[in-house]
Amino acid sequence: MASQDRILVVSAHAADFAIRAGGAIARATASGAAVRVLVQSLGARGESNEMWLQRKGKTTEAEVAEIRRKEAQAAAAILGVEIAFFDYPDQPLTFDRDRIMAIVREIRKFRPRVILTHPKHEPYNPDHATACQAALEAAYYATLAGVEPDLPIVPPTQILAFEPTQPMPEVTGFVPDTFIDITDVMERKLQAVAEYRVQPYHVERYRARAVARATQAAYLAGNPEIKFAEAYQRYTPWVGRMFP
């Protein structure tokens, strides 16, 4: 990625950006790119189910949310990204006009070349699909001069979806067409993922997924040196004078 690249990540919950795109993020920040993460919900409800079970309901959303915030902040520091929290409730995560406009304003201010977010269809976690739809709408609205006119419009942004919920990506209809080799930054990604102690299973799940995607990526590229990879699905067609 170019040293002056700018990537915005619209993450439904506190852990999503790190577990699904942490490798690409680590590679981008290592090259000098600016990466900003928008966490829509800390995931204090359904995303923290194990914690509620362990405490037998003897906790509060505010208490769980603060733990998730600290986990996300620690992961963001490891990956070297800016992070912002909108603090919306999860399960269900919902978006009205004001919430979508908040993303529009973030896009207008940050002016990313690439937006990473969730797939459009996520039956195993509807919050993810909802966040994706909000990101897609906001990216379009950010190009319109009459929407939030106090901020300059942006050109159309490249939008890609990262992995859906593991271990069930195939049944969501997720069909990757872009693979990022994260072999040399995998340890950094796993360090970030390990910060999510409320969801400790993520480390092995996404390590296994990175190995599986690397098998595909190595085959496609004819490069057996690819040991870990992340998969993405492009939502915006490529336009250029040369093939990407």
The domain ranges of the chain are 6-234
Task: Flag residues of the chain having pLDDT under 50.
Answer: 1-3
Asked if 89 contacts 131 with a C-beta cutoff of 8 angstroms, the reply is no
Domain 6-234, architecture per CATH: 3-Layer(aba) Sandwich (3.40)
What lies within 8 Å, CB to CB, of 55 at 6+ separation is none
Return the number of other C-beta atoms located less than 10 Å from residue 224's C-beta.
Answer: 10
- CB crowding 164-203: b at 16 or more within 10 Å, else e: bbbeebeebebebeebbbbbebbebbbbbbbbbebbeebb
Cα torsion 167, 170, 175, 176 to 10°: value is 30
81-104: b (≥16 Cβ within 10 Å) or e: bebebeebbbbebebeeebbbbbb
Q: Write the single-letter amino acid at 104.
A: V
- Residues 134, 145: Cα–Cα separation, whole Å: 19
What would the pLDDT profile of 33-77 be if each residue is shown by its tens digit?
Answer: 999 999 999 998 888 888 878 887 788 989 999 999 999 999 999
Read off the DSSP letter of residue 242. S
pLDDT of residue 2: 43
Alpha-carbon distance values, 124 to 166, 167, 171, 176 (Å): 9, 10, 10, 18
CB neighbours of residue 4 within 10 Å: 10
